[in-house]
Homo-oligomer: A and B are copies of this chain.
Amino acid sequence: MSAVRKTYLTDATGELRVPMREIVLSTGDSVVLYDTSGPYTDADITTDVERGLPPLRSGWIEQRGHRDTQLACARRGEITREMEFIALREGVSAEKVREEVAAGRAVIPANRNHPETEPMVIGEAFLVKVNANIGNSAVASSIEREVEKMVWAARWGADTVMDLSTGRDITKTREWILRNSPIPVGTVPIYQALEKVGGKAEELSWEAYRDTVIEQCEQGVDYMTVHAGVRRDFIPLTARRKTGIVSRGGSILAAWCLANGRENFLYEHFDELSDILREYDVTYSLGDGLRPGCIYDANDEAQLAELKTLGELGRVARERDVQVMIEGPGHVPMHKIKENVDLQKELCDDAPFYTLGPLTTDIAPGYDHITSAIGAAMIGWYGTAMLCYVTPKEHLGLPNRQDVKDGVIAYKIAAHAADLAKGHPGAQGRDDELSRARFDFRWEDQFNLSLDPDTAARYHDETLPAAPAKRAHFCSMCGPKFCSMKITQEVREYARTHGLETEQALEAGMREKADEFQRTGAGVYRPA
């Protein structure tokens, strides 16, 4: 019997328990996979959305006895429990995790006030990660639905979620999400700050923003998008764009700069902001407020001016022991993608790159999970550490449950394709197991090894729903007579039983064996 179940990796002491997904194959073998779904998929754990998840990291944080960030620890050679957890999860040494964090090439987004999170790492040296955006807008959605979307996104493989709520009950929604989230949660604090000043961008202030950030740090937000690179002087560079400024935060800050005739207050107060984030070990996600919103605007002067500024700000943050990721575009045609990664590495000292897509064409609203999965796979291969998903509803409306799943699956495909292309150790194992199951007609194993077993099984069953079809040596695509895998197996079996395994044997033996096979070989097309 083929089955999927929760399992745990433990360290030598038995104290660390790292959740993994185990696929028990019908052959008796097991495949153990990285798992983001949290306690929700452990049949032995009862979860209660009103009470939240157990605070996995509370003891570690207490025992640590200091408030240093993961970066500060890494720099002075300390391997934290989080790093050990991640090492087991990624199948690397804890020292490797420490090294990458110390160098600023990787981040561990883990606010000390979000002890429910299962530690994970974002960096080029590790598995490519996927973020899912959730959050209600003023037009639609509810708190319960957003919490459920977070659990659902994690279920399908989201490594982090960003809560982009802009409507009412923004604090309450975030609290519920944080207390129930086994994955790091990111936010864009300027959305809430704007609510505080009645939606009037020109009335935003450093003080209102700072208070919002502190409130969110206290709640446990793990990383924050900060558009400190939208400098006043860059705004005119967007004037000849086809779609101007498409980042919400970027447009708000541009409006503020223009209304107040002053430099972006986030840029001017960046030191102070960094000191706040350090206190909680909140990671910066330096936002690309001037990212291109269409193919025409890709890699333009505004975008690259901001990227350079983000590199400077990243150095300021790391000097203060604050972890930093850099956000990237957006809409970029394929031939301009690599330049984004190369420049980001050069200008931002190899800080982890975190990109939205990019979408490789503008002409497919309704399918932008696909236009962008193409760009995401490529930019992941080139070195991007985390991919922010795009759902089919992008540009059109707020994603529902199905859209969230479609977006996450498209991005898990992109991330895994990138891991394969990077030659990440172990990535190909899952492909090989699934291909072997396919060749052996172990249908249930094939489904369970796939990113979405439900859909794979449902598609198969649409035309061949009967139970015996699950053991059949064909599917409805080609039917029994034309199944190339079936024929190949029979050819191999013939070759094996006739000593024709090697090329030499084949050459020598083929002619004399031919008559025999012709007499007995109708089995190749034996009816199913």
Interface residues of A (CB under 8 A from B): 137-140, 166-167, 191, 194, 199-202, 232-233, 235-239, 242-248, 250-252, 254-255, 258-262, 293-296, 333-335, 360-367, 369-371, 373-374, 377-378, 381, 392-398, 400, 409-410, 412-414, 416-418, 420-423, 428, 430-432, 434-436, 438-439, 446-447, 449-452, 455-456, 458-460, 462-464, 475-485, 487-492, 494-495, 500-503, 506-507, 510-514, 517-518, 521-522, 524-525
A510 touches which of B261, B490, B503 (Cβ 8 Å): B261
Give chain B residues whose Cβ lies under 8 Å from the Cβ of A381.
334-335
User: What's the dominant secondary structure at chain A's contact region?
Assistant: helix
Whether B396 and A475, one on each chain, are in contact in the complex, defined by CB atoms closer than 8 angstroms, is yes
Cross-chain contact of A363 among B242, B364, B434, B511 (Cβ < 8 A): B434
A394 to B503, CA, bound (A): 32
Contacting residues, chain B, for A334 (C-beta < 8 A): 377-378, 381, 417-418, 420-421
Shortest C-beta distance, A322 to chain B (Å), equals 27
A422: chain B residues at CB < 8 Å are: 335
Pairwise interchain contact B451-A420, C-beta atoms closer than 8 A: no
Q: Which of B243, B254, B479, B513 contacts A438 (CB 8 A)?
A: B243
Cβ–Cβ contact B475 & A296, under 8 A: no
Instruction: List residues of chain B with CB within 8 A of the CB of A524.
Output: 200-202, 255, 259
Q: Could you list 28 examples of A-B contacts with CB < 8 Å?
A: A138-B479, A166-B479, A202-B524, A233-B503, A236-B502, A238-B488, A239-B495, A242-B432, A247-B484, A258-B500, A259-B521, A293-B435, A293-B439, A293-B485, A294-B431, A296-B428, A296-B435, A334-B377, A360-B377, A362-B438, A365-B456, A366-B450, A366-B456, A374-B378, A374-B414, A392-B459, A397-B459, A400-B462
Q: Which residues of B contact A261 (CB under 8 A)?
A: 510-514
Whether A201 contacts B507 in the complex (CB less than 8 A), given A487-B251, A495-B258, comes out as no
A460 to B, closest residue via Cβ: B396
A484 contact set on B, CB distance < 8 A: 244-248, 250-251, 293
* Minimum CB distance partner of A409 in chain B: B367
Q: How far is the CA of A488 from the CA of B297 in the complex (A)?
A: 14
Chain B residues lying within 8 Å of A255, measured Cβ to Cβ, are: 487, 490-491, 521, 524
Question: In the assembly, what is the distance between CA of A449 and CA of B364, in Å?
Answer: 9
- What is the bound-complex CA distance between A376 and B56, given in angstroms? 43
